[in-house]
């Protein structure tokens, strides 16, 4: 209140009963006649409510509270300032000196005591040092645990996983729908830009020409040759009987957009 409204500390003594409750209010009413200044009130308050030896314990904690290796400068300053505020008997200069002296040696080598006059200045220099350390630090590499492998024997050998066969694509050839150059669907021979494939254009069998796989019925008669193991009639064509296999239907000339 004194800092917020600009009052003197001694002028706050009449306001103390307003701030206290229950037992603390009774204690204030019983002892307020002995208080002449604010320091008298603080002294009686500490001696009545604080345990004996607390100030000495806080003083020792302040002296021994040094910055640890995993603690940043901001975290260290917050922790030590809290102890010094509870102690309440240190000047601003003494608090600043204690903050500097309890820092790690590498911080004190980077900055001197004469380079800052308050806590924000001290923390600004400390952050600059931490940024330099972070830039010089090499990137972290993830470490992987390497366990010693036991020699493989017939007792600890793991069974081999069965290899699944690759799926086989079922392709049904249709001479009316497939290209007579690459054997693929979706275009004609005149529109084809794929690599030419050797196959029978009538049944789709690969690595064989049409004349060797499915020749026209009249080719043998016109050329004066006979098909192997097939008799030829007087008209030059093989007979169509029960023991002969029917020939594949042939596209008529002019009925298909593709040319054989």
In this prediction, residue 221 carries a pLDDT of 52
Q: What share of the chain is helix, strand, coil (3-state, %, to 5)?
A: 45, 0, 55
> Residues 151-168: what's their mean pLDDT?
71
Rounded Cα distance between 260 and 181, Å, is 10
Residue 99 predicted with pLDDT over 90: yes
CA–CA gap between residue 246 and residue 5 (Å, rounded):
116
Q: Confidence class of residue 13 from pLDDT cuts 50, 70 and 90?
A: confident
Q: Which residues contact 76 (CB under 8 A, 6 or more apart)?
A: 67, 68, 102, 103
Query: If you average pLDDT over every residue of the chain, what do you get?
Result: 78
Residue 3: pLDDT band (50, 70, 90) is: low
Calpha distance 226→237 (Å, rounded): 9
- pLDDT tens, residue by residue, 62-90: 999 999 999 999 999 999 999 998 888 88
User: pLDDT tens digit string along 195-241?
Assistant: 888 888 888 888 888 888 888 766 555 545 444 444 444 444 444 44
Q: Is-above-0.75 flag for pTM? A: no
Which one, of 70, 181, 89, lies nearest residue 130 by Cα? 70
């Amino acid at each position: 209140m004194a800092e917020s409204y600009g009052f003197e500390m001694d002028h706050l003594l009449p306001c103390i009963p307003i701030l206290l409750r229950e037992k603390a209010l009774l204690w204030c009413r019983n002892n307020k006649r002995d208080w002449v200044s604010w320091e008298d009130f603080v002294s009686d308050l500490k001696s009545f409510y604080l345990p004996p030896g607390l100030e000495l314990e806080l003083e020792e904690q302040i002296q021994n509270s040094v910055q640890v290796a995993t603690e940043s400068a901001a975290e260290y300053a917050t922790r030590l300032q809290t102890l010094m505020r509870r102690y309440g008997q240190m000047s601003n200069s003494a608090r600043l000196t204690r903050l500097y002296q309890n820092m790690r040696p590498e911080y004190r080598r980077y900055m001197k005591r004469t380079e800052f006059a308050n806590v924000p200045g001290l923390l600004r220099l400390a952050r600059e040092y931490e940024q330099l350390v972070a830039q010089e630090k090499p990137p972290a590499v993830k470490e992987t645990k390497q366990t010693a492998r036991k020699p493989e024997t017939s007792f600890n050998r793991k069974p081999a996983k069965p290899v699944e066969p690759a799926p086989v694509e079922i392709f049904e050839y249709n001479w009316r729908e497939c290209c007579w150059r690459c054997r693929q669907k979706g275009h004609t021979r005149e529109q084809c830009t794929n690599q030419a494939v050797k196959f029978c254009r009538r049944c789709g069998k690969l690595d064989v020409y049409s004349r060797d796989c499915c020749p026209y019925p009249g080719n043998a008669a016109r050329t004066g040759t006979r098909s192997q193991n097939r008799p030829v009639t007087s008209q030059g064509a093989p007979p169509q009987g029960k023991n002969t296999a029917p020939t594949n239907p042939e596209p008529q000339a002019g009925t298909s957009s593709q040319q054989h």
